[in-house]
Amino acid sequence: MPNPRITLQAARTLHLAAQQLQYPLKTLATPDCLLSAIRRMALLQIDTISVVARSPYLVLFIRLGEYPAEWLESTLFEQKIFEYWAHEACFIPIEDYRLLRHRMLDPDKMGWKFNQAWFDEHQTDIQALLKHISTNGPVRSADFKAEKRATSGWWDWKPHKKHLETLFTRGDLMVVERRNFHRVYDLRENVLPQWDDATHTLSKEEAEFEMLCRSAQALGIFKIEWLADYYRLKRVNAKKLTARLLEAGLITEVEVIGIETPMYVHQSCFSLLNETASGKIISTVTTLLSPFDPVVWDRKRALELFNFDYRIECYTPESKRKYGYFTLPILNRGEIIGRTDAKMHRKESILEIKSLHLEKGGAVGSRRAKDVADAISRFARWQGASQVKLGNIPAELAQLWGEGWSLIE
C-alpha cells in the first residue's frame, strides 16, 4: 500500500492540531486544562524576559485563552510538574521525572550548567547550604543577599546562587515553587520521598527513546531529524530510530507535497491524517506566538514547515536588529504570516505594537486584518491593557487600524 500523500498545508494543520492550535478552546479553561496542555506539549520552556507576558504564561494563554497566571505556580507547588533542563529550562510533567533523572546523575555531560571543579572546591559551603535547607526549609537565592564579607562563603549571594544552581543541576535540589518568578529550592528527598534511584531510574538509552517518542507525539508530523532537538538530544542514529518506531507501530510514513525527504505521523494523529488530507480539518487559530513556543523554537523546523525564517533579536545589538527586540510570530489560520515587536506598559495599561512586519507576498484582506486585530486585543486584555497603541505597521493595516484602539467597552 502506498504511503499517504498530503499537502504542505495539511501537514501544518496536523502539526498545529498536535500542538493544540487547531481551533480556540471553546470552554473556559480549568487548572486541569493547564496541566493537560503541558502534558500534550511534553515541555513548557521557561524564559524570564518580560517585555510582554513571560513566555510560559504566553504559551499557555495561546492554548487556553484567559486564565489566572497563578494556576501555573499552583501546579508547580502541588508537584504536578517540576523544573529541569530539557529543551532548555522547562516545566515538565512530574511523571516524566524518570526521563531526566539520568542527566542529574551524570551532570558532567550538562555542559555549562554544571562545573565539577566549582562543586569540589566549594564542598564545605555547599554542605553548609544543604544543612541550612534541611534545618530551615526551602530557600531562594534572594534570601541570601547579604552584605559582602571579607571571607568568601555560601552567604555571599553570587557564589550562593551558583551553589543552588549546581545542586539543582545535580538533582540534589528541586524547585518547589516560584515567588515573583524566582525559584524556591528544597531538598529532593522532601519533594519526592518515595523516589529510589536503584529501582526507578531509567537507563540513558531507555530514557532517550521515550523522550524521542514524546517528541514525535508532541510534533504530530515530523522529519526524523527534528525529534532530537525537542529534548536537546545528541548523536541520535536517525536510521535505527526510524526502524524502531516503525516496527513498534508508533509512526507511519507520509509524503508531503513540496518536501523531498520523508515525513512521519505519530500514531496519536493517525485519525487526523485522512481528515487533514481531505481538508475536513483546518486550523482556525489566530494568535501571537511566544518565541519559545514549541511551534517555532526549532528555527530550522519553522523554516521547513512554515517557510518562516525566524530568530529572536533580543541578544543582537540594537543597531543590527531587523525586526525588533522581542518579536512574536503571528499565526493565522495555519500559516505564520509575520511578526510583531510588542511591549506591555503595565503602569499605563497600554500594549504597544512597536512594529509589525508581514511575510513577503502575504496579502492583507479584511478577514486577516480582523483576525490579527482580534488576536492583539485578546492578548492585550489578558495582560490588563485598556488600550492598544500602534507604531510602525504596514500601510494597509494602518488604513484600517489607525494609531490604535481602546479596549474599554
Q: Percentage of residues in the chain with pLDDT exceeding 90? A: 84
Query: What pLDDT digit, counting tens, does each position of 100-159 carry?
Result: 999 999 999 999 999 999 999 999 999 999 999 999 999 998 888 655 554 544 444 468
Q: Which residue, 77, 76, 60, is CA-closest to 68?
A: 60
Q: Is the pLDDT of residue 363 over 90?
A: no
Query: What pLDDT digit, counting tens, does each position of 265-290 carry?
Result: 999 999 998 888 888 888 999 999 99
Cell of 172: 540534589
The torsion of the CA quartet 71, 31, 219, 247, rounded to 10 degrees, works out to 130
Query: What pLDDT digit, counting tens, does each position of 288-307 carry?
Result: 999 999 999 999 999 999 99
Task: Phi first, then psi: give them for residue 135, nearest 5 degrees.
Answer: -85, -40
**Mean of the pLDDT values across residues 45-63?**
95
Residue 25, pLDDT score = 81
Pairwise CA distance, residues 210 & 102, whole Å: 13
Domains and CATH numbers, the chain: 115-191 (1.10.10.10), 311-409 (3.40.630)
**333 Rama class: left (phi>0) / alpha (psi -120 to 50) / beta:** left
Is the pTM higher than 0.75? yes
More confident residue, 173 or 362: 173
